[in-house]
Amino acid sequence: MKRIALTFDDGPNTSITPQVLDILGEHGIAASFFLIADSITPESAQVAKRAFSMGCEINNHSTTHEHMSRMIPDQVRREVENCTQKIIELTGRAPRFFRPPYIDINRDMFEEIGLTFICGSGCQDWVPDISAEERIERVLANARDGEIVLLHDMPGNVNTVEALKTIIPELKKRGYRFLTCGQMFDECEIEPRHGWMYSNVFQTEPRTGL
Ligand SMILES: [Zn+2]
């Protein structure tokens, strides 16, 4: 059976994130959420806790969601460590994975950040004009064993909520099981490599995706 990981960036919030969780719950699957620490409020924290209690994985998407390739090393560390701390407060567990905002990276960031870098195959779902149908088509076209799918649960992203209602049952029909990023690496027995950024756990190049 093939394996796929749905991942969501830019939460948590009280509008779109709960709708994504409702759909995941209906289908009895878990996903991975990459949180922006500055988006964690008392209200959205409850949503993130709900995700964690459903078996979803909570990961790091920085504190301020700014471009990080031009930051000095101290700033890079603060961006990531603060977010990690917030996640530990929410879940009691440190995140294993980091997605750089805008996938904007440089070599130094791999030295400063002790988490596995995740990219994922995107469907440009951060562009409001990309319809739900186009998102569905792109995700299904990119689907393969070990793939990490990059989506966004950012406020207003109703087209992705809509697309999920087709994407999940269609992938199930095609024989996919849904794993978190951690489950994907563990189950496939892939040891993440330093300096690599993953879009598929079986990739043979240091960087792929987008
Ligand atoms: Zn983002």
Look up the CATH number of the domain holding residue 6: 3.20.20.370
pLDDT at 208: 72
Q: Is 152 known to be catalytic?
A: yes
Say how many Å lie between the CA of residue 172 and the centre of ligand 1: 27
Tell me the pLDDT tens digit for each residue of 36-91. Answer: 999 999 999 999 999 999 999 999 999 999 999 999 999 999 999 999 999 999 99
Q: Is residue 171 part of a domain?
A: yes
Q: Which amino acid is at 188?
A: C
What phi and psi, each to the nearest 5 degrees, are found at residue 11? -85, -170
Report pTM: 0.97
Q: Is residue 151 part of a domain?
A: yes
Q: Is residue 205 part of a domain?
A: no
Q: Which tokens in the block code for residue 52?
A: 């964690």
From 10, 125, 152, 153, the catalytic residue? 152
Tell me the pLDDT tens digit for each residue of 10-42. Answer: 999 999 999 999 999 999 999 999 999 999 999
Say how many Å lie between the CA of residue 150 and the centre of ligand 1: 10
Q: Which amino acid is at 60?
A: N
Q: String of b and e for 37-67 (b: at least 16 CB within 10 Å)?
A: bebbeeebbebbeebbeeebbbbbbbbbbee
Q: How many structural domains does the chain have?
A: 1
Tell me the pLDDT tens digit for each residue of 99-134. Answer: 999 999 999 999 999 999 999 999 999 999 999 999
Q: Domain range spanning residue 160?
A: 2-198
Q: Strand ranges (DSSP E) for the chain? A: 2-11, 32-35, 57-60, 97-98, 116-118, 121-122, 147-152, 176-178, 197-198
